[in-house]
Structure 1
Amino acid sequence: MSSVISADGTAIAYTRIGQGPAVVLVDGAMCFRRMGPAGPLARQLADRFTVWTYDRRGRGESGDTAPYSVEREVEDLDALIKEAGGDVYLYGISSGAVLACDAAARLGGIRKLAVYEPPFIVDGTHEPRPDDYLDRMDAMIAQGRRGDAVATFMRTVGMPAFLVALFRLMPNWPKLKRVAHTLPYDFRVLGDTGAGRPLNAQRWAGAQLPALVMDGGKSPQYMRNAAKALAGALPQAEYRTLPGQTHLLKPEAVAPVLKEWFA
């Protein structure tokens, strides 16, 4: 296992494949190197880039130092960018898209940014997340109810109840429960962006670099509106829709776009 030490002493595990300019991939909720889209996408990009995938803190083989803060996750990315030579392209998906935007606003060493479907709620096309959502998620984790936390998250992102019940019987369910304690981390990254209000563009005013914000042509309207809103909030952003894609983005659909954007 390769790892880099973040500013607070936490070991962040990573994998590097390919050859060429460095690209760092930032996962969304519950994903890590052994479970999620980053590994397959890295293999799609490795013919043109050196691709860095990593386990966000608390997941996979990375450490997890309390107390959590979003700033610590940005520092994790800073350490990884420096390990990659201090000159990278950055791609994030879902909550990882938001973390990537925060990093782009605060850190140097990022040439270009690309993100896919930040899970914001910026208008009335989706019910806002309840004000006590994070408190309830924290309580479930504190009480050891990891399965309930995962199920709550799945219902929040729109999965029907019968599918959630089926997921509890699948082989990946224990893996999901092992990273359930990081769900509150993701919602702290999201902050107040689920309240059904316009985004605060000042949050990313420091991201003075070319950015590409993408959504899927078959994704829910609220997610597409969120992507458009983020494109409007970033100082130098382009907006693009990937036809036929949903929030479960296929690596083979986004890889050619990233190759073009990062060329």
Structure 2
Amino acid sequence: MVQTVQSADGTTIAYEQDGSGPPLILVGGALSARQGAAALVPLLAGDFTVISYDRRGRGDSTDTPPYAVEREIEDLRALAGAAGGPVQLYGHSSGAILCLEAVAAGLPVDKVAVYEPPYFTHRVKDEPWQVFLNEIQALADAGHWSQAVEAFIRHTGAHFDEGIKQSPWWPAAVALAPTLPYDLTLTADAVVPEERFGSIAVPVLALYGSTSPDWAAAAAAAVASSVKDGHQGIVPGQGHGADPKVLAPFLIGFFRD
């Protein structure tokens, strides 16, 4: 059943809650709504009260411009309040960055697990992130949502061909194009903010897939070393989109320990 909670700025955040036990909020990355966690939820619901939600501007959640990372942190604070907090967080990709930023901002959390936050551990000088963010923002504002999604996917380095546009998931991804600037704002210059994350004292598990590009392992190492109680884990045989059946035991083991 879909439930809602009001964020501090009046934005309605839609979420679903399954299972029983300590509350665990799942935070998706770019081009994902709460349904993106559908296969992972039942694998965790035996141990946790799993909360999957639509980040602002997605699915059944509303939006209130202008965007700011602080507003997304307020959304998580509202969800934690509804769950009776403190909570545990699991974030994927840019959703992982949101989790870390929320904890650094003081969100009451017991533990955090992140999977492949898109940090590259060094400044990319050939294309400043703000230039690409402005390009995606312009495409989204002009209603060129399909072009925005294509440009974003190509920018990540993932393989893209025109056949992708015939995939069953393509229309849903295109519908989320206006939120791409939010994820790019979260990622910023793709450098781990070590000073800010240095205030994070709760246990943090930084995961990456064994078949992912080198940046994923480097990002996990940088995150783990920047917090006070950081740990790394490698998920065998997986890339950026890990199989929930392979990933779930890592999360259960970490959050239950």
Give the TM-score of the pair, scaled to structure 2: 0.94
Partner letter of residue 215 of structure 2? Y
Superposition deviation, residue 174 in structure 1: 1.6
SS in 2 for 1:238: strand
Q: Which residue of 2 aligns with 1:262?
A: 255
**Structure 2: distance between partners of 1:203 and 1:149:** 31
**2:23–2:85 Cα contact (<8 Å) kept:** no
Shift of 1:129: 4.6
Instruction: Measure the CA separation in 2 of the matches of 1:148 and 1:257.
Output: 36
Listed as ranges, the matches of 1:75-94 within 5 Å are 75-94=74-93
- Using the TM superposition, give the Cα deviation of residue 205 of structure 1 relative to its aligned residue in structure 2, in angstroms: 2.5
Alignment partners' CA distance in 2, 1:94 and 1:173? 19
2:173 is paired with a residue of what secondary structure?
A: helix
TM-score by length of 1: 0.92
Alignment partner, residue 242 of structure 2: 249
What does the per-residue CA deviation read over 1:87-131, in whole Å, with 9 as the maximum and x for residues that have no partner?
Answer: 21111010000000011111342101110101112248x886544
| CA distance 1:129–1:245, shift in 2 (3 Å) | farther
What is the identity, as a one-letter code, of the residue corresponding to 1:180? A
Matched with 1:150 is: 149
Q: 2:175 aligns with which of 168, 173, 178?
A: 178
Q: Is contact 2:92-2:116 (8 Å) kept?
A: yes
* Contact 2:12/2:61 (<8 A) preserved: yes
After superposition, the Cα gap between the structure-2 partners of 1:110 and 1:216, relative to the gap in structure 1 and judged at 3 Å, is same
Looking at structure 1, the residues matched to 180 and 107 of structure 2 have their Cα atoms a distance apart, in angstroms, of 27
Matched residue type, 1:60: G
What is the aligned partner in structure 1 of residue 46 from structure 2? 47
Find the counterpart in structure 1 of residue 206 from structure 2: 213
Gap runs ≥5 in structure 2: none
The CA RMSD measured in Å over matched residues stands at 1.5
Residue 223 (structure 2) aligns with: 230
Q: In structure 2, what is the Cα distance between the partners aligned to 1:63 and 1:133? A: 25
CA distance 1:128–1:97, change in 2 (3 Å): farther
- Identity over the aligned pairs, expressed in percent? 41
Tell me whether 1:29 sits opposite 2:30 in the alignment: yes
Partner Cα distance (1:58, 1:26) in 2: 14
The corresponding residue for 1:137 is 136
* Count of residue pairs brought into register by the alignment: 254
* Equivalent position of 1:14 in the other structure: 15
Counterparts in 2 of 1:137 and 1:210: CA distance versus 1, 3 Å: same
CA gap of 1:129–1:31, structure 2 versus 1, over 3 A, is: farther
CA shift, 1:64, in A, is 0.6
Partner secondary structure for residue 39 of structure 2: helix
- What is the letter of the counterpart of residue 223 of structure 1? A
Structure 2 contact 13–56 (Cα < 8 Å) conserved: yes
Unaligned segments of structure 1, at least 5 residues = none
Secondary structure of the corresponding residue to residue 172 of structure 2: helix
Answer whether contact 1:216 1:245 (CA < 8 A) is retained: yes
The answer to whether the 8 Å contact 1:123/1:222 transfers is no
8 Å Cα contact 2:149/2:177 also seen in 1: yes
**Deviation larger for 40-49 or 198-207:** 198-207
SS at match of 1:25: strand
Do the aligned partners of 1:219 and 1:245 also contact (CA within 8 Å) in 2? Answer: yes
DSSP 3-state at the match of 1:137: helix
